[in-house]
Amino acid sequence: MATQIEARSLASLNYLAANPPQYPHNPAGERQEPLTLYISRVPGTRDVILTTSKPHLKNVTSEDVANSF
């Protein structure tokens, strides 16, 4: 099984989502690394955030919210 890595930035994923290839030349040749996303619920609200950095176990902090952007 592949080891997990923590994402540093969503820039490459955002670029690929904004500019998808119309016809991939060789989709099997260039494999993308897996992306682990964490879902956290903001206490006291119905809000959830999706982030690439591992949030705190009990409470979501402003740092976790800032990292999700």
pTM, whole model, 2 decimals? 0.38
Q: Does 39 reside within a domain?
A: yes
Q: What is the pLDDT of residue 52?
A: 80
Q: Does 43 reside within a domain?
A: yes
Q: Does 10 reside within a domain?
A: no
> Which residue is it, tokens 């955030």?
49
> Would you place residue 66 in the very low, low, confident or very high pLDDT band (cuts 50, 70, 90)?
confident
Q: What is the pLDDT of residue 46?
A: 84
Quick: pLDDT tens for 16-64.
778 877 776 666 666 767 778 888 777 788 888 887 877 666 666 677 6
The tally of domains found in the chain comes to: 1
List helix spans (H) across the chain: 11-18, 62-68
Q: Does 3 reside within a domain?
A: no
The domain of 59 spans 35-69
Q: Does 26 reside within a domain?
A: no
66 or 57, greater pLDDT: 66
Q: Does 59 reside within a domain?
A: yes
Q: Are 68 and 51 in contact (CB under 8 A)?
A: yes
Of 66, 1, 10, 12, which Cα lies nearest the Cα of 37? 10
